[in-house]
Chains A and B, each alone.
Chain A
């Protein structure tokens, strides 16, 4: 399968624990996005990378959240000291950006569902 993959698909943790999610984008895609989706809501933007550079971060991304894309390929999203309000689906998307004159469509992965007890 050459789509966006995410691991794990499900994560249950206790409040206060740290969790890390991984996203593997489509291989030639230079942009990678993270979104969070709570029940009954649409996804909300968290952050995105172009290659290894993190270009934008949402105010939703508190100090407990950190994202990396060290080699411009896969990305990790870490949540420290998890809270019950962090329970959500975390979606990753990737795209191939060729410059401002073209449109890069975002392709989404299956998501990681986080439950904080």
Chain B
């Protein structure tokens, strides 16, 4: 059974700093990994999706990396802003046929201090 872990559970950093969020998974047989953002009481917004054959994806100030063999992914946020405060979730998908569900981690609650 796939298990996804995110450490730390909560993180506070001053505005402007760069930061890294971590995600680890126990079964390396994944199809892709996705990072989401969730604001309090709201649904999920997809940030980045990395296919199993890829090493990283970038979008603006966000960069996600994937090391499938070691079961790890990181989300790097550059020049953090107060608007980045949210819970960040990573999720893995086992395959593209027959097992399409996403398995989520418990999230990292990020607070950017102005």
**A interface list, Cβ under 8 A from B:** 4, 31, 33, 35, 40-45, 48, 56, 58, 91, 93, 97, 100-111, 113
Cβ of B44 within 8 Å of any chain A Cβ, yes or no, is yes
Point out the residues of chain B lying under 8 angstroms from A107, CB to CB: 46
Cβ of B96 within 8 Å of any chain A Cβ, yes or no, is yes
Q: Is the CB of A91 within 8 A of B49?
A: no
Known: A31-B100, A42-B89, A103-B51. A111 touches B106 (CB 8 A): no
Q: Is the CB of B43 within 8 A of A45?
A: no
Q: What 19 new A-B contacts, CB under 8 Å, besides A41-B107, A42-B91, A42-B105? A: A33-B101, A33-B102, A35-B102, A40-B106, A42-B89, A42-B104, A43-B89, A43-B104, A45-B101, A48-B100, A56-B99, A58-B101, A105-B46, A106-B46, A106-B102, A108-B43, A108-B44, A110-B42, A113-B41
Chain B count of residues within 8 A CB distance of the other chain? 26
- A104 CA to B91 CA, complexed, in Å: 14
Q: Which residue from chain A places its CB closest to the CB of B32 in the assembled complex?
A: A103
Known: A42-B106, A108-B45, A111-B43. A100 touches B96 (CB 8 A): yes
- A109 CA to B45 CA, complexed, in Å: 9
- A107 CA to B47 CA, complexed, in Å: 11
Residues of B76-114 whose CB lies within 8 A of A: 89, 91, 96-97, 99-107
Which of A45, A97, A106: most chain B Cβ within 10 A? A106
Point out the residues of chain A lying under 8 angstroms from B36, CB to CB: 108
